[in-house]
Amino acid sequence: MDVVVLVSGRGSNLRAICSAIDAGSCSANVVGVISDRGKAAALEFAEARGIPTRTVSLHKGDDRDAWNRSLADEVASLKPDLVVLAGFMRVLGAPLLDRFPGQIINVHPALLPSFPGHNGPQDALDGGVRISGCTVHIVDAGVDTGPILAQAAVPVLANDTAETLHARIQIQEHQILPRVIHQIAIGAITLDPLTVSTSVADPARSLSVPDV
Ligand code: GRF
């Protein structure tokens, strides 16, 4: 299964995907990495690994529709079976969603549907929850609203900051994102391109709750 990964920043999830591929636990091939920021560390990692990279920048005042079309063209040129948002900090528009219906997944640092948006860990702290975590879901037109494929929980500790909580959440992201990609590759998770609905063969295996 050929995968294009969209990134904006550090790329620790991209690294986790590549590590799982190297270890033989993720049956996928990363055929390209696309960023909206030219200086993303994730791009450096991809380039060092020999993965084709592209940058489709969006600056203040740019035409967002044109950016959405360029992004869709770049992704489509790599002919992926699956598009993975791994720290891509933009909301996708219709051009990409329409070209890859139900074939785009995202990892989010909170237990959706709670705490969508850019500040998942801080919002969880502000909400006073004792358990947070991460979610892998199919991308639809909303912000972190698509069907949920997998979640993992982490405890929220008394002295947590957004940074320490996020770091604990990321350890789980690095487990469940490559696992979901593998499950899609082997057909254990079916993405329905027409309805953007999903069927998870064994939901229990997609829910990981570590000891607290
Ligand atoms: C992750 O926490 C992901 O959930 C969120 O952005 C962060 C990206 O981290 N969407 P990285 O760039 O993969 O390290």
Whether 199 shows a pLDDT value over 50: the answer reads no
Q: Which residues line ligand 1 (CB under 6 A)?
A: 9-13, 42, 86-87, 107-109, 134, 170, 173
Confidence of residue 164 (pLDDT cuts 50, 70, 90): very high
Instruction: Give the pTM.
Output: 0.91
CATH code, residues 2-206: 3.40.50.170
Q: What is the mean pLDDT of residues 83-91?
A: 95
Which among 41, 46, 71 is positioned nearest to 56, based on CA atoms?
71
Burial class (CB in 10 A: 0-12, 13-18, 19+), 20: buried
Ligand 1 centroid, distance to 69 Cα (angstroms) = 24
Residue nearest to atom 8 of ligand 1 (CA): 87
167-192 pLDDT, tens per residue?
Answer: 999 999 999 999 999 999 999 998 87
Ligand 1 centroid, distance to 86 Cα (angstroms) = 6
- Percent share of the chain, pLDDT over 90: 86
Least trusted range by pLDDT, from 20-29, 132-141, 171-180, 194-203: 194-203
According to DSSP, the residues that pair with 104 across neighbouring strands are 83
**What is each CA distance from 159 to 118, 126, 130, 155, 182, in whole angstroms?**
22, 13, 12, 12, 35
